[in-house]
Amino acid sequence: VTTYPVDIVKVPYKPDATVDDVICFKYYNEDEVIMGKPMKDWLRFSVCYWHTFRGTGADPFGFPTLKRSWDDGSDSIENAERRMRVAFDFMSKLGVKYWTFHDRDIAPEGATLDETNSNLDRLVELASELQDKTGIKLLWNTCNLFAHPRYSNGAATNADAHVVAYAAAQVKKGLEVGKKLGAENFVFWGGREGYHTLLNTNVREELDSLANFFKMAVAYKKKIGFTGPFLIEPKPKEPTKHQYDYDAMTVIAFLKTYNLDKDFKLNIEPNHTTLAGHGHEHDVVMASSYGMLGSVDSNTGSPDLGWDTDQFPMDVKNATFIMKTILDQGGLAPGGLNFDCKVRRESSDVADMLISHIGAMDCFAKALRVAAKIKQDGVLDKMKQERYASFGSGLGAKLKSGNATFEDCHEYIRQKGEPERRSGHQEKFETVLNRYLL
Amino acid sequence: VTTYPVDIVKVPYKPDATVDDVICFKYYNEDEVIMGKPMKDWLRFSVCYWHTFRGTGADPFGFPTLKRSWDDGSDSIENAERRMRVAFDFMSKLGVKYWTFHDRDIAPEGATLDETNSNLDRLVELASELQDKTGIKLLWNTCNLFAHPRYSNGAATNADAHVVAYAAAQVKKGLEVGKKLGAENFVFWGGREGYHTLLNTNVREELDSLANFFKMAVAYKKKIGFTGPFLIEPKPKEPTKHQYDYDAMTVIAFLKTYNLDKDFKLNIEPNHTTLAGHGHEHDVVMASSYGMLGSVDSNTGSPDLGWDTDQFPMDVKNATFIMKTILDQGGLAPGGLNFDCKVRRESSDVADMLISHIGAMDCFAKALRVAAKIKQDGVLDKMKQERYASFGSGLGAKLKSGNATFEDCHEYIRQKGEPERRSGHQEKFETVLNRYLL
Amino acid sequence: VTTYPVDIVKVPYKPDATVDDVICFKYYNEDEVIMGKPMKDWLRFSVCYWHTFRGTGADPFGFPTLKRSWDDGSDSIENAERRMRVAFDFMSKLGVKYWTFHDRDIAPEGATLDETNSNLDRLVELASELQDKTGIKLLWNTCNLFAHPRYSNGAATNADAHVVAYAAAQVKKGLEVGKKLGAENFVFWGGREGYHTLLNTNVREELDSLANFFKMAVAYKKKIGFTGPFLIEPKPKEPTKHQYDYDAMTVIAFLKTYNLDKDFKLNIEPNHTTLAGHGHEHDVVMASSYGMLGSVDSNTGSPDLGWDTDQFPMDVKNATFIMKTILDQGGLAPGGLNFDCKVRRESSDVADMLISHIGAMDCFAKALRVAAKIKQDGVLDKMKQERYASFGSGLGAKLKSGNATFEDCHEYIRQKGEPERRSGHQEKFETVLNRYLL
Amino acid sequence: VTTYPVDIVKVPYKPDATVDDVICFKYYNEDEVIMGKPMKDWLRFSVCYWHTFRGTGADPFGFPTLKRSWDDGSDSIENAERRMRVAFDFMSKLGVKYWTFHDRDIAPEGATLDETNSNLDRLVELASELQDKTGIKLLWNTCNLFAHPRYSNGAATNADAHVVAYAAAQVKKGLEVGKKLGAENFVFWGGREGYHTLLNTNVREELDSLANFFKMAVAYKKKIGFTGPFLIEPKPKEPTKHQYDYDAMTVIAFLKTYNLDKDFKLNIEPNHTTLAGHGHEHDVVMASSYGMLGSVDSNTGSPDLGWDTDQFPMDVKNATFIMKTILDQGGLAPGGLNFDCKVRRESSDVADMLISHIGAMDCFAKALRVAAKIKQDGVLDKMKQERYASFGSGLGAKLKSGNATFEDCHEYIRQKGEPERRSGHQEKFETVLNRYLL
């Protein structure tokens, strides 16, 4: 088997689909132009290799549940190749334009670094060929610096320099692979960079190590001419009790402390955002506000669960907030919307993996349509701007320019007295938003 | 002032309303028949007196922000009467058919119990008159057993019998008032019944007290001929660290332990459900499954906040789950959908209190329309039923009837071996649901 | 290798141990009599087989990290036997008197139920022999109804009757094994009994199935003459989004609803309690208050993490609350303190598994000493009792007896007026407690 | 009444106190020298005016419960003066050396800014006199920019420039007051600087405003010669859904973004840290690691509650982590340990306010003793340092110096291969720590 077993060439767009016809898009019409760009350019969807092609359904309480006809479960190169052919067929049928992977997703680790890299080269060769054949491009690649037992106490922040060196050697290769495959970005997710207990941890020493590691990466990127942005993906906890890249602002603090903020942007995953105790769209908005939003791992979690469930995004209100932010910053390229999502381990049919991607793409396509309508109407944006109107003139303008003083303010209040009370109108904003959503 | 200052007689139904015309319903059309009943009978909305007419916007960090022209802030009977006239005018204009209140919401506490009850009688008189005049009915009343300092360590579970007696005297009067005003239910919310620290608390003794208290209430209800259901409203925490009525199942355990389960049903508030760590609709579904769902305090919280924010429900997906459960159990009467919601303290315009109710009613009206469509189509229900088909015959039927034994099962497995794997299809269910929602 | 590789016969009691001499007990002195019983009888410690002998350190983000010299990683009977010999040697050296296991921990699953049971019989034979030789007894056994893919949608609550039958056949054998090995209890942990989404779930039908399942178990227990208590172990979430056995009160509600409360008690795990949003000792206290506390899985979690970390209990304040409750109910037998704990995957030395158990046992031993001192002094208990003194006479006594009426209370308040204010003295209770703890 | 009604001159140190003698210190001996400094210099305790002298016990569900004989509840200057005399008497008797306050805690707001400032001047005059008389000093003062309705939508981040100006005028005066009273620091807590909904909020514009505000404060501080550090106190949520000063790292990101990091340090409150989803000591450690720890608001919360409970710190393990960090950075001066704590509203006796402070001071005194023992023994520190030993030479040293490259690392791994596995020994660290604590 080298094809994904579904009897279609490509998932069709059927705006009039019946409720239970789920192998079609009702909202996603890739070439339809929305606000000056085709939908596919606003919605740079990518399929992630790890969940969709390496996920087994195993969890801490149970064995694998997802058996795929094309995967014999072995670590052979042949199996890896067959799997990759199916993956590109799946993505072609689904109609996404991008994919993402960790180094170890696509090729088995060998007995030595050389052997590992040689395995990787073989699969990269095939990937390159399949990319050319299908037109599917690499949104980003990354290195798995957390699964191997050598990384159990962290990679770049390990207390053992030997492990740090191993991670560096691995990222070196990862950058080379990214360059070869034309990766549009390169991602760092902090795997096990964090602590379980402060009793055995020197936080500052570990953060210094992490900064040194990133500086080596920046130097090597320039050396080999890899031009895509570096992205850091914040996560607050899991697997460690405290991940150093807790959330967007924590990463920005780190980058600024070590003068790395020009070299990195952020890859925001909403399920990580909610784990950090924020609202679903918070980190996307914060990163965008700081000019640091590079890409989005579009997934969702269950707000009542305290771990990363990596569910397919199916809530159009949440997706609308994301898309509105992306519209406001003029798009996400060279970043994209990567589905860092996995089918539930109970969703064991091979069709479930297709349906789940379709459902998520349609959710985002609808959200794009809603967000564009909101933006074009301008009603909500105008309501928001009116709240800040006082900064347009007088003392407000002086405050905004940074030229006012406490003495100016004191004098102003002595003359003007109390400000008028103004409503924040939250429920009105929500009601108007619902007019677009319902 | 004795009218709510908005220049309309009644909020109109305008299915073609523009986005920013928020003083109208786009979905709520009270007499339109859905699945055999007018919308107003499925959606027995009520306005709560405490938030909407007694809320001041004070919070633990700040002073009142909501000033109403009809309320002079005093504890006088005249002020209480004026406020009540405005409330009935507001409800009439909004178009709800029910209201709810705590005893202390409508009339000021006096220096003695007698004086307090006499104040209450005066306002009950006026309420009765305004009910007759407007046709608005009392969904339920309840007693405030938590605000007065005497109740700081609980009411029915207080360590001091004197306080328990005070609470009993107060509920006695509350039942009399409910009877007089034709209350369709009577609610108990456990205020400060719970503990802050187990160090100073004898849990079992306090729960015994609570049960005794409820038994006195049941006896008195029968004695005076109050016929509405008694409802308990679960809440997990706040104001106490642990509220004894944690969630639906905790209350059911309590009721069954003390043989009170025939005398009480549950009033579920989703913001309490999410505070208890469950999904928004969980307790509504659990209570309904156990035949114990009596009424719903339809509000919502912010999943990233750990306290009861009592926000107006504005999420149609959440509301659809609630309405589908209500449709499935054939309606909620004599219970209803009480808006235990408050405008944000920042929403300080008088119009905000109207807009917020309209937004919430329209959200539920849309949800009813969606839920009815789902139910009538039957696609989702059929998908669900198919999962349980094996209990219709053979060993499945025997298991379902309660007549199977471990030996039967052992023999069956020896003959049939492994079961087939079946997908749970979560993402397909979600995708089909979105076809109705988007 | 058939022995645990540490160069001691038994962990010694050294009350004067230096700070870094961690292979000894500083507080646990098994035969020392505390309040009339030797410490070992108050502290019926057991080692759990799953974490301590089957844990590999694998987690959702990484491969196994814990390699043990006696375990070749295979599923052979020989490996299983070797592992069991080491386990009994470990427990003997540690000095615990009990162990616990799931059926699948000790013997590999075969191709058929018969083969599986035959594997199990071989290991049960060996266990029986090792129990006799070492004097170590079986606190409880249980069945693993969650790891095999057949149980991915639940066992007793599966939508497929065939799966329910499989689970029943497995528990049938589990009870037979328990009887053979003299298990003092039998535990049910609800594995995957719960839901991920209500969209595809009929809650009531599943709970009915669960009740039927337990009734079959009770019948079979009686039939074969297994005499230990049945215990249910509540857990709120993980692996499912909502576990039906959420917390102590939820389980009690279930048991009472189905008239099963005489046949079951509770096995409380504090890490599950904190996941449910309660304080560490809450469910132990609630279960004990209801006369339903059967046993304790003594572990702990990190309050800032949202999943079950199963850490060794190392906080003496928490342990003191548990031990005080156990002292108050006169002991835990036939239940015990089972260490459902795992060494961190980073704690990869073989010595870590011994040190962690020693640290936890010493923590509980110290807690027992503190709790006994508190109980014998009586200062805290007296402070608590004084709060409830008013129920000893007059109206208080009448309320307590259940003979008071609302009319009595009304009359009492009219005569006595306002109650005096009484402090709850939380900080004083905390300060006095600290006098014992510091 | 102008004295705190307890019949002692000063809380005595009684190392042999009985369990229930709670009006004495068992561990806090202010002049005893620990590691080269008297305890009072390590433990620069301060009493906060807001909770201890302005707290009423009111909460969102109830009226005031705390009546003090010296406080007539009025807003008169006389009442304010009497309250202040009692406060200084209380602090003298308790034996703390510092106090803290918000401007509005000590003097009533008037009808105009001028009147307000004039009220403030009168009380500052008295404070100055009482400081001189008692020797008690001002650890820090701050401005209340959240309680008045004008600040309902924020102060420095308000959408209305008029409100921003008001806040600036208020802080101007606050700095003048701080200078006059010799405040050793000045604190900013972000009150309502944050958002409730992103729908109505321009995050970047508000953060720019906040930075401009702080720059005006820095300029004015220099102008008037106020020399104490400026401190920002992070809090994640409450009263707003998202506070801009979420946690230590978020504040550091903000300060670095706006080049304010040289002008500000952090005042960490553990109850805010745990609300942000971190462990109790996390932000203290992070801030200290970054050289940004200025002061500590030493309180605690309940880990199972989602709001700021401001409880007195009574857990010696938590306090030990704090004190160890403070010892490691050589002390906290000019910062201190401010008790931002309130007695429970149920703790209504006047003695409760004294006992709670004593209990907390003793907890920290014991923690200082334990932490000093740990530091002097060096066992735990050495265990930690050994984990990082590989950075002392060879490639490790090169990595640490920032001079290594990816190519160096690649070469090193090709030669050395896999690193050895090393245990993180978490349970051993915990066990050794317990040897100090138990």
- How many Å lie between the alpha carbon of D297 and the closest alpha carbon of chain C? 18
Measured between CA atoms, the residue of chain A closest to residue D114 is A414
Q: Is the separation of the CB atoms in C218 and C181 below 8 Å?
A: no
The encoded tokens of residue D433 equal 């720590």
Chain A interface includes B386 (CB < 8 A): no
Classify C310 in phi/psi space as left (phi over 0), alpha (psi -120 to 50) or beta.
left
Evaluate whether C110 touches C116 at the Cβ level (below 8 Å): yes
Stretch A176-189: mean pLDDT, rounded?
98
Q: Do the chains contact at C344 and D426, CB–CB below 8 Å?
A: yes
Q: Indicate if the pLDDT at residue D1 is higher than 90.
A: no
Residue A127: count other Cβ atoms within 10 Å of its Cβ: 26
pLDDT band at A438 (very low <50, low <70, confident <90, very high): confident
Is B345 touching D (CB cutoff 8 A)?
Answer: yes
With tokens 């994919």, the residue in question is A99
Contact residues on chain B for A277, CB-CB shorter than 8 A: 304
Distance (Å) from the C-alpha of residue A183 to the closest C-alpha of chain C?
A: 24
Band (D394; pLDDT cuts 50, 70, 90)? very high
pLDDT of residue A1: 78
Alpha-carbon torsion (C106, C109, C112, C115), positive or negative: negative
What dihedral do alpha carbons A382, A385, A390, A392 form, nearest 10°?
A: -100
Task: Write out residues in chain B with pLDDT < 70, as ranges.
Answer: none
Contact C324, C35 (CB under 8 A): no
Burial of C68 (0-12, 13-18, 19+ CB in 10 A): middle
A274 — contact with chain B (CB < 8 Å)? Answer: yes
Cβ atoms of C238 and C190 closer than 8 Å: no
Minimal-distance CA residue of chain A relative to D216: A405
D362 in contact with C, Cβ within 8 Å:
yes
C59: nearest CB among A57, A239, A305: A239
- In this complex, which of A112, A169, A276 lies closest to D277 when CB atoms are compared? A276
Interface touch A426/B347, C-beta < 8 Å: yes
How high is the pLDDT of residue B306? 97
For testing the chain A interface, which of B358, B381, B431 should be mutated: the one with the most A CBs within 10 Å?
B431
Are D206 and D154 a contacting pair, CB within 8 Å? yes
**B75 φψ region: left (φ > 0), alpha (ψ -120 to 50), beta (else):** alpha
How many interface pairs between C and D have CB atoms less than 8 angstroms apart? 156
pLDDT at A234 over 90: yes
- Between the CA of residue C368 and those of C31, C271, C325, D263, what are the distances in Å? 13, 20, 10, 51
Among residues 158-187 of chain D, which lie with CB inside 8 Å of chain C?
Answer: none
Q: Point out the residue among C203, C400, C430 whose CB comes nearest to the CB of B199.
A: C430
**D100, β-bridge pairs:** D48, D140
pLDDT value at C402 more than 90: yes
Q: Tell me whether B212 touches chain C (CB under 8 Å).
A: yes
Question: Any CB–CB contact under 8 A between B17 and chain A?
Answer: yes
Nearest neighbour of A64 by CB, restricted to C63, C149, C191? C149
Of B59, B61, B152, the CB nearest to D345: B152
Q: Do A62 and C239 touch (CB under 8 A)?
A: yes
Partners of C186 in the β-ladder: C141, C230
Contacts of A188 (CB under 8 A, 6+ apart): A142, A214, A217, A230, A231, A232, A233
For the cut 90, the answer to whether the pLDDT of residue D102 exceeds it is yes
pLDDT at D438: 87
| Neighboring chains of A (3 or more beta-carbon pairs < 8 A) | B, C, D
CB contact under 8 A, C209 and B420: no
Query: Measured between CA atoms, how close is A80 to chain C, in angstroms?
Result: 19
Q: A349 to chain B: which residues are within 8 Å by CB? A: 423, 425
Chosen from B115, B153, B162 to mutate, greatest number of chain C CBs within 10 A: B162
Which of residues 276 through 295 in chain A touch B, CB cutoff 8 A? 277-279
Helical spans, DSSP H, in B60-160:
77-94, 103-106, 113-134
Interface confidence: ipTM more than 0.95 = yes
Tokens describing residue C407 = 């009319």
pLDDT of residue C438: 87
Q: How far is B144 from chain D (nearest CA, A)?
A: 10
By CA distance, what is D239's nearest residue in B? Answer: B61
Give contacts of A64 with chain C, Cβ < 8 Å: 149
Rounded to a whole number of angstroms, the CA Rg of chain A reads 24
User: What would the two tokens of residue B2 be?
Assistant: 């004795």
Residue A220 touches partner D, C-beta closer than 8 Å: yes
At residue C38, the 3 state secondary structure works out as strand
What is the signed CA dihedral for A402, A405, A411, A412, rounded to 10 degrees? 20
Express each pLDDT in C112-135 by its tens digit: 999 999 999 999 999 999 999 999
Burial class from Cβ neighbours inside 10 Å (0-12, 13-18, 19+) for residue C345 reads: buried
CA distance B249 to chain C (A): 5
Per-residue pLDDT at C1 exceeds 90: no
Instruction: Give A202's contacts in chain D (Cβ within 8 Å).
Output: 384-385, 388
**CA A317 to each of CA A17, A435, B22, B437: distance values in angstroms, whole numbers, following the listed order:** 22, 12, 19, 11
DSSP code at position C213 = H
Does C19 lie at the interface with A, CB-CB under 8 angstroms?
A: no
| Residues A187, A181: Cα–Cα separation, whole Å | 14
Q: Does B241 touch chain D (CB under 8 A)?
A: yes
Gap between the Cα atoms of D235 and D113, Å rounded: 28
Q: Are C273 and B277 in contact (CB under 8 A)?
A: no
Instruction: Please say if the pLDDT value at position D187 is more than 90.
Output: yes
Closest by Cβ to B59, choosing from D65, D239, D346: D239
Whether B246 contacts chain C with CB within 8 A: yes
pLDDT of A308 > 90? The answer is yes
* Contact criterion met (CB below 8 Å) for B241 and B194: yes
Rounded to the nearest angstrom, the minimum Cα separation between D296 and chain B is 21
In this predicted structure, what is the pLDDT of residue B274? 98
Find all residues with CB under 8 Å of C78, minimum gap 6, and list them.
none
| Chain B with chain D: Cβ pairs closer than 8 A | 87
Is the minimum CB–CB distance between C406 and chain A shorter than 8 Å?
no
- The 10s digit of each residue's pLDDT in C181-221 is 999 999 999 999 999 999 999 999 999 999 999 999 999 99
Which among A20, A304, A424 has the least Cβ separation from residue B346? A424
Quick check: C73 contacting A, CB < 8 Å?
A: no
Least CB-CB distance to B237: which of D61, D63, D305? D305
List the chains bordering chain D where 3 or more Cβ pairs fall under 8 Å. A, B, C
Residue of B nearest to C161 (CA): B396
Q: What domains, with CATH codes, occur in chain C? A: 33-377 (3.20.20.150), 386-437 (no CATH)
Contacts of B387 in chain C (CB under 8 A): 159-160, 200
pLDDT digits (tens, 9 = 90+) for A46-68: 999 999 999 999 999 999 999 99
B254: Cβ–Cβ under 8 A, 6 or more apart, which residues? B207, B210, B211, B244, B245, B260, C249
Provide the 10 A C-beta neighbour count for residue C262.
Answer: 8
Tally the residues of chain C: 438
